[in-house]
Structure 1
Amino acid sequence: MKSKTLVPVCVVAVVLMGLYLIPPAASQSQTTSQPESSRVNASKTVLELGVKGDGITDDSAAIQKLVDASVGSLRFPSGQYRFTKPVVIDLTKVGPTSISGDGTATILMEGAGPAFHFIGTHNGTASPKTVQPVVWEKERTPMIDGIEIVGKHPEAIGVAASKTMQINITRLVVRKALHGIHLYERNRNVSIDNCHLYENEGVGIYLEKLNLHQINISDSHISYNKQGGIVVRESEIRNIQIGNCDIEGNMGQETEPTANILFDISKGSLREGAIFGCTIQHTNDAPDSANVRFIGNGPEDPRKVGNFAIADNSMSDVAVNIHLKHARGITITGNTLWQAYEHNLLVEDSSHIVLGSNLLDRNPDYRAKTKDANVFKDCTDCTLNALNILATRGVPAGLILENCARMNITNCSIRQCQNGGILLSNVKQSRISDCLITEGEKNFAIRVTGGQEIQITDNLVSGSIDVGPGTEVSNTMTVY
């Protein structure tokens, strides 16, 4: 019987080790598929790539050179970076680009225009089928995060964007510039989060001559910008969400009506969106100041601004807390409004407004001489429910309706208003029911002048009910 030849164990071990040390072809391909220069650059900061960041050298050309070289990731460590002209990120040429810092880098913008200007080519909608391949390959999701920009020129802007897809702006600080963030021409799916836009001469977030679908503005502090906090002008906007922000003091040097939040659609349209969970307040010394102001495109077509919810906000300390003009389809619920020097609510030439469960207060801790009026003028088809109105001063009544039609007022509580409870003037086909109005013997609870087809029913009131011809009154209990 022949014996088998045995391979020594040590030889097998050596062979196996050799096989392990030889990289497979697939691994070699993966390793060499990305250029070495790109991999090195991605790990370096701009200081390591030749930028000075000393607050003296003009760094704008050096940064532009890195952008044009398609570095992709520009990381700014601690330092001051002087720019004398905008850094232009032409995405279709340079590819996906992000600008980031850890909050210790300051851009000193000493030239006119935006410190960072993102430019794309997206002409489609928000639908995936309209996005061209070049957008996903070269332009998608430009980002800026963790940077401070300080304006050192009267026309300096923080960040601007045009024709971008899914731009993300986070933890950005812009102050002492003209505008903080400027979006224009066309953008889609914008996200602005955790930003501080503070003490700028113009607007905090400016949407100007813009076609935009889908923008989320959240958890940001937008304050002391002299021409408005969030302003939309001459634009076509759909799906705008503003949530959980502190927005205050954004008025003072405007040459036209503005507000902490202004949608001026006298040209254009704005529909679909919400303002929710925000604190919106100040400035009492601006004569036409407002916290939230919607302006549609005129009495001939008052439907271009609306389909909107204003919910669960706290607003105070301006001439008008909420001002709607030429608007349609807005729900206003769960808000606390007080200290309005002229109007808590001013609604003009608007329709299909639902106003429910809001507190319109006069807290004795706030001693300013405010009127806090609540007025609807030239409105139709509105529902006013569960309002709590307290202590208006220097106006004809706590709730005033003028030249309105098909208005339904129910379940409201109105107290201590200086001259009266509810005043209807030239109103038709409207109803007041199930309200509690306590105004004392000297003031009227409900007064109707002019108008027709008015029903007043099932209210508990103190004070007089004064109605003119053509008014139907039924089941009303008057208590003195």
Structure 2
Amino acid sequence: MRRRSFLSRASLLGLPFFASQSAAASQPVEGRAAPSNVRQFGAVGDGLTDDSAAIQAAVNASLHVYFPAGNYLVRKKIDLRSGSSLVGDGTAMLRTDGTSYILSAVGRIGARRPLRKDARHGDKQILAAASTGRQYQGAGGFLLQSEEIPLGHPTHRAGELGVVSSVNRDEVGVSGLVLADYLLADNAMAAPVTFVEGVSIRGLRLSNDNYAKNPSKVTSALIYLEFVKDFRVCDSSLQRNNSAGISAFNCVNGVISQNSIGQLRDGGRGILGYGVQIGFSSQNITVSGNTISECRHAVTTGTGTKSSRTPNHGVSRALTIVGNSISNCTNAGLDTHEDSDGVTITGNSIIACDPVGIHARSYRSSISNNTITSCTRMGIRISKTAKDTVVSGNMISGIRRGPSGGDGISIESQAVTVTGNRISECDRHGIAVMGDASTDISITGNSCSNNGQFSGGDGINIDRRGPISRLTVVGNTCVDLQTRPTQRSHFKIDPRTTLSKSDCLVTNNNFSSPAKSRS
């Protein structure tokens, strides 16, 4: 039986990734039993007594734990289990003065077993002895580990998650894996995964005292989740930490919503300070309706590093970032690393982030209907690795120059569509195409007005500095109606850029005076 008959199309359709249990069966079951009051287990909540042991006892004894108003000092991380539901009254504070997590849920990885290649299918088939395959079957998940050779897609790394769906003689079927662009190495391995399932955190406030007392001390995320399935973190406050607010690695089917997250910095290592961090083989996670400010990145996807628990990268897929209010981040409001794929960013408000509002490095991203204002250097940056990205319906204004830049949308990649955006009053260009990788670019139906506020930039600027092919510029409106126009040109092609006459199209645009179009 061939591999493709085994693989489900769930991951391509954005459907729930695992089929071992229904989502409803593994969701938190609040309401089935009255929650236990953490005070009944000896928690004091006076801000002085270490309540770690009492809180852990409550979690171990009851799936549902309630925190009344109080200041609960946690000096040892609280380990959550499947079905754990922590609910606060909205003012209950969990704080630490240490370097570890406050709340943690971590699944287990079983022993790794070898897979072998199948030359008939270009090394894309997964094979194993039937006895080995049956050991995977019924496990909560399946982690593929392989030092593979990617075929043209920099996001595709080893460490994918799936579920064994069938065993037929010597072949193992795996649902949800995206392997069409892999060459599996001869030393490919697989390991069964046991998830922590159905974790819920709601109505709590978390913080770390080191934020004020030891600003350079490296700490851990306030909430840490790894190999967790069907989780929710809602209606909580995560503030003041020298690390991340929430880290979710190798997690599946999660919601992070309606939280207040802020005052998070890197603790001196330059790689932390994330409001929400989603990495490795995480799938189907939504970050929605949060207010996030004063972080390095409000939300970051992918990690760009290998997991400490597995010797692989992994690719985060089917992530949605929607309806968040983001401000005053010191690196980027939203950042998608190259080891994430299919990220949807829509309906967010991003204000005063430096150096960019949204930095897309991930493959097949969709960036739509966001409002981006008063950021420094770039509103949206489409980096070299962000192939097959669509940027549509965004409102971008007031992008300041800083040491460089000042562009509403900056494009440095291939196969990028920019359509229906409104870009105004940026210090340099409304839309800029640059870099040696830029090709197959479609710019249609955008409005660029009153740009070039600082340096006399252009509405649309093509600065490829070399040959460019498959460029489409159609139906755009570029105007400058200010009393003293600042937009140097409505449309400009740098003299060092060479257009292919056979597949480049510039037509039906409204490039109105007083600025000129130049090439």
Range into which the TM-score falls when normalised by the shorter chain: 0.5 to 0.7
Distance 2:507 2:141 in 1: 51
**Alpha-carbon contact 1:331-1:354 (below 8 Å) kept:** yes
Deviation at 1:457, TM superposition (A): 0.8
The equivalent of 1:478 in structure 2 is none
Runs of 4+ in 1 over 6 A off after TM superposition: 41-44, 126-131, 366-370
Distance 1:43 1:444 in 2: 65
Aligned residues: 366
Q: Structure 1's 181 and 431: CA in aligned 2 closer, same or farther, altered over 3 A?
A: same
Q: Structure 1's 264 and 120: CA in aligned 2 closer, same or farther, altered over 3 A?
A: closer
Deviation at 1:108, TM superposition (A): 4.9
Q: Structure 1's 175 and 456: CA in aligned 2 closer, same or farther, altered over 3 A?
A: same
Q: In the alignment, residue 260 of structure 2 is paired with which amino acid?
A: H
Instruction: Calculate the TM-score normalised by the size of structure 1.
Output: 0.67
Distance 1:378 1:413 in 2: 20
- Note if 1:465 corresponds to 2:517: yes
- Note if 1:113 corresponds to 2:145: no
Q: Structure 1's 384 and 173: CA in aligned 2 closer, same or farther, altered over 3 A?
A: same
**Alpha-carbon contact 1:85-1:110 (below 8 Å) kept:** no
- Note if 1:429 corresponds to 2:429: no
Q: How does 1:45-444 map to 2 (within 5 A)?
A: 45-65=37-57, 70-89=61-80, 97-103=84-90, 105-118=92-105, 124-125=140-141, 163-176=195-208, 178-179=219-220, 181-207=222-248, 210-226=249-265, 227-233=273-279, 235-251=280-296, 259-266=297-304, 267-283=313-329, 286=330, 289-296=331-338, 304-318=339-353, 319-325=355-361, 327-349=362-384, 350-362=386-398, 372-393=406-427, 395=428, 397-402=429-434, 403=436, 404-418=438-452, 419-426=457-464, 427-439=468-480, 443-444=488-489
SS at 2:375 equivalent: strand
Q: Structure 1's 214 and 420: CA in aligned 2 closer, same or farther, altered over 3 A?
A: same
Distance 1:274 1:67 in 2: 30
Deviation at 1:215, TM superposition (A): 1.3
Q: In the alignment, residue 442 of structure 2 is paired with which amino acid?
A: N
Distance 1:130 1:181 in 2: 33
- Of all paired residues, the percent bearing the same amino acid is 20
Instruction: Calculate the TM-score normalised by the size of structure 2.
Output: 0.62
Which whole-Å deviations, capped at 9, do the CAs of 1:397-438 have from their partners, x for residues lacking one?
A: 321112421211111211122222211123322111112112
Distance 1:44 1:411 in 2: 57
Q: Which runs of 5+ in 2 are unaligned?
A: 1-32, 110-138, 143-160, 166-193, 210-218, 266-272, 305-312
Greater RCO, CA 8 A, separation 6+? 2
**Alpha-carbon contact 1:413-1:436 (below 8 Å) kept:** yes
Distance 2:277 2:451 in 1: 34
Q: In the alignment, residue 182 of structure 1 is paired with which amino acid?
A: I
Distance 1:441 1:120 in 2: 57
The equivalent of 2:174 in structure 1 is none
Q: How does 1:13-24 map to 2 (within 5 A)?
A: none
**Larger Rg belongs to:** 1
Distance 2:162 2:335 in 1: 33
Q: Structure 1's 87 and 341: CA in aligned 2 closer, same or farther, altered over 3 A?
A: closer
- RMSD over aligned CA atoms reads 3.5
Distance 1:380 1:128 in 2: 30
Deviation at 1:273, TM superposition (A): 2.1
Distance 1:371 1:435 in 2: 22
Using the TM superposition, name which of 428-437 and 50-59 deviates more: 50-59
The structure with the largest strand share of the pair is 1
Deviation at 1:182, TM superposition (A): 3.3
Distance 2:230 2:36 in 1: 30
Distance 1:85 1:330 in 2: 39
Deviation at 1:293, TM superposition (A): 1.0
Q: In the alignment, residue 262 of structure 2 is paired with which amino acid?
A: S
Which whole-Å deviations, capped at 9, do the CAs of 1:80-128 have from their partners, x for residues lacking one?
A: 444443344566xxxx654444345444535553344445558614999
Q: Which runs of 5+ in 1 are unaligned?
A: 1-40, 132-161, 252-258, 297-303, 468-480
